[in-house]
Structures are given as C-alpha cells and as structure tokens.
Amino acid sequence: MFLDNLRRRLLDLEDSVSHQEHLLQHLKEQRAAVQLQLDRFVYPILTLPLEITSEIFLWCSPRDFAADPSEAPMLLLQVCRAWRAIALSVPVLWDSIDDEFTTPAKMEDVVTSWFSRAGARLFLKLSYISDPESAPMHSLIHRHASRLQSLKLYTHSQCLCDLADIRPFPLLRDLYLCSYNFDMPESTGTPIPVFSGAPLLRHLSLECISPSALLMPWSPLTKFSAFELSLLDCLDVLRLATSLSKFHRHGVLEAEETGTGQPLHHSGITSLTVAAGVHSDDDVLPFLTLPCLQEFRLGDPSHSYNKEMNTRILPFLSRASATLRTFTVDLLPLLPNELVPIEWFHITTHLTTLDLAYPQYMRQFLHALDRRRTPDFLPKLENLVYSKGSSDQVNNQLLDALQSRGPDDAPDSDTDTSCARLETFCQIWPENVSGLRARIPLEHVASLRALVSRRLHIHIGTRDMNTFH
C-alpha cells in the first residue's frame, strides 16, 4: 500500500514536470519572438552618422573634462554598447582632462587611461596638492610632453623646479603655472629653464610665481595673464615679451610703494585687462604707454571703485584715447558718494563700444549720453552695453538718450561724419534675476519697438536670452 502511494505520487510529479516544461518551452518561444522584434527595431539615434553622434557627444561634455562617472564623456560609456564604442572611437573626447588628485597612484591611473584614447594633441590640467613628491607628475608630463598643446599645473614649487629637465614641448601653445607656496628660487641663481623648449608657446599665465625665477621663451608670447604678481614682475614681463598683444592683471602679491617702476612703452598691446579696485591692480597704469591699445577692461565682479583710482586711470585714458575703441567698466562704488567719474568718457572720444556694469550708479552718464544736450559726448559710439542691471534701468531718460542717437537725429553724413549712429543697445541681466525684475515696463515697450523700427538692435535679458522681441 505504501509503495503504491509513492508510485502514484511520482507519476503526478512527472505529469507536473512535463506540464511545466511545456509552459517553459512556450515562454522561451515567446521570449525569442519578442527578442526578434527588438532586434529588428532600429533606434533612430543609432542611425545617425558617426560624425553627427560624435558632435552631439562633444556638446554634451563639459568644458572642463573630469573623470566623473556621472558626467560625459564617462557617462556615455555606460548607456549602451553602441554608444560606448562610439565614445571610445572619438579621440577629441579624451584629449582634455581637468581634475584634482590627492594621490599619485590615482593621478597616474586616470590620466594614463584617459589619454590612451586621445589623439595627437592633449590638454591637461592637474591639481596635485596633497603630496610634495614630484616624481609622479614629472613622469606623467615627461611621457606626454610631445603631445601637450595646453597645460595647467596647480602644485608645489618644488614640483615645478623638478620639471626643468623635461623638454622639448613641440606643440605646447598655452601654459598656466600656479604655485601653492611662494618659495620659488629667485635671481640669486640661474633661472629655472622650465618649459624653455616650447617654441610654439604663445599664451602664458603665472600665479604666485615670479617671472624672474623662470627662463621662458618670452619674446614669442602674444598673451600674458598675471595673477597675484607684483608691479615690478608685471613690468618685467612687458619688457621681456615684446610680441604681446593681450595683457591681463588680476591681484597683487604684496603691498608695494608707488613709483617703484620705470615708465614702459609697448607698441604691441591691443587689449588690456586690469582688475583694479581696492587691491590696487591698477598701479601698473601710470607706467604704461600703449599707443596701439584698442580694448581696455577695468574691474571685475569682486572689485570696487574708489576715488584714489582716478589719479591713475584718468591720465592713462588720456594717453590711450586716440586708439581706444572698446572700454568695459565693471566696478561697484566702494562708498555711496564715490561714483565712476563721467570724465573717463569725455576724454575717450573714439570709443565705438562701451560696456558699463551697474549703470544705476552712474548718475550723470545718461544726461551726457543724450546727444541733444551734449553733442560732443562719445561721438563715435555704436554699441552700448548695460550689464548687471535690471529692467528698471529702462526709463524715460535712457529712451531719450537712445532716440537722440538714432538715424533720424544723427547729423547728415554728407555734412558731418564726426558723429556715429548707435547700432546696438544691450542690457544684460544677471542669470538669477527674478521674474518681477525681468519685466520691461509696459509704458516703454512701444518706445523700444519704435527704436527697433529705426534699425537699432536691442537685446534686453540675460546674455543667452533676449526677452525683447
């Protein structure tokens, strides 16, 4: 009896297994059919030519490439096999890396793997601050020196000294050097021949590193940026770099006595940027004569205007006014009664483009801008930019000034060519401007449209979005 029950139980189980196997086979057939349908489906994105997909990948990638798995290009490797293959086949996606490393092992692994996918030119930005040992960085740069086109180093001074024996750098065009400590060897010995074997070097930036400590190919440089350098260092660079066309100064290393430099004449500089403000970055201006200067940017978001600046800036503008065409003023008043003086613009009579930040603090400017009141004020002005303002700066006084510089009010070109017609007006709002502040007053919209009908191009909004149509 017991054995009969077991036999019946076994038969039942065999029937169940057979039934389940039949169901499993049916499910496998359904799965195969679905897979076949999926395999026949072609995703539109995968039908794009390789060149188009590669360009999309480039636009998806941030400007400063970092080895971050949550951002392109690393993120592209995780989407699908097709995208991974495409991303790995595009060298330009991997020719630039910008990262901060805390261990030499991580720096070596990441950069070596990254650049193994790149092409003939490389852009490398390294921050290596936790370990003063320079051997890993030395080895890494030595291995890629022949392909580097741009290099930015943020590291200890000893690491920079140890790089002196690496040369040549046949493709290097852009170099940024920053030392986290200020003990670079000075002129007590021979200057360090770091990057002296870079015949194509054109753009150089130094931060907290005296140029007198470095033996560089100064003469071919066309652009130099000084960060936290002394007045004398800046003047030395201007004397050494005879081919410079652009010079940028931001921050001073230490307080200096005025009048410690010698006058300098540089006929190549066409663009000058000076942060100015409370840090006295503009102390270089009294020593400069730049007969070919066309573009001058004064100030930045972190600097303010004070009355002492006028004694340095006004004489400089007088010397540069004959060639100066573009002037940008990005200064907040340090005190409520210390406003950017209107005299700066009275003497710059050849300006064609003027960019003013915080125009609400320049009370006399709009009155002078009205050509019916001051016909000889900025007679050549064609482009006016208000930046870091808001829609409440669009008022009747501004509209009157713009109308006075339109084609109907401009002098007859046959009788007077000294005055130009205003071609463009831009009011650039901060990116975080609120909705209420971003509204143009309705009573001014008709006047603005009338100006547009008279061929004045108007841009009001953020730099990327024009809210006025």
Q: Please write the tens of the pLDDT for every residue from 286-343.
A: 999 999 999 999 987 666 777 788 889 999 999 999 999 999 998 877 666 667 888 9
What's residue 313's pLDDT? 92
Q: In 3D, which of 364, 379, 388, 451 has the Cα closest to residue 421?
A: 379
What are residue 205's DSSP bridge partners? 176, 225
The pLDDT averaged over each successive group of 10 residues in the chain (469 residues) is: 79 88 91 86 80 87 72 86 88 79 69 79 66 68 86 79 80 88 54 84 92 88 93 92 95 58 91 77 90 92 76 93 94 70 91 86 82 92 85 78 75 57 88 56 81 88 77
Domain extents for the chain? 352-469
Give CA–CA dist 348/327, Å, rounded.
9
pLDDT tens digits for range 230-264: 889 999 999 999 999 999 998 775 555 455 678 99
Give CA–CA dist 361/268, Å, rounded.
34
What's residue 334's pLDDT? 65
- Residue ranges with strand state E in 174-294: 174-179, 203-207, 223-227, 246-250, 264-265, 271-274, 288-289
Give CA–CA dist 4/9, Å, rounded.
9
Contact indicator for 459, 425 with CB cutoff of 8 Å: yes
pTM of the model: 0.80
Residue indicated by tokens 């990948």: 57
Instruction: Return the axis-axis angle of helices 396-404 and 442-453, rounded to nearest 10°.
Output: 10
Contact indicator for 245, 269 with CB cutoff of 8 Å: yes
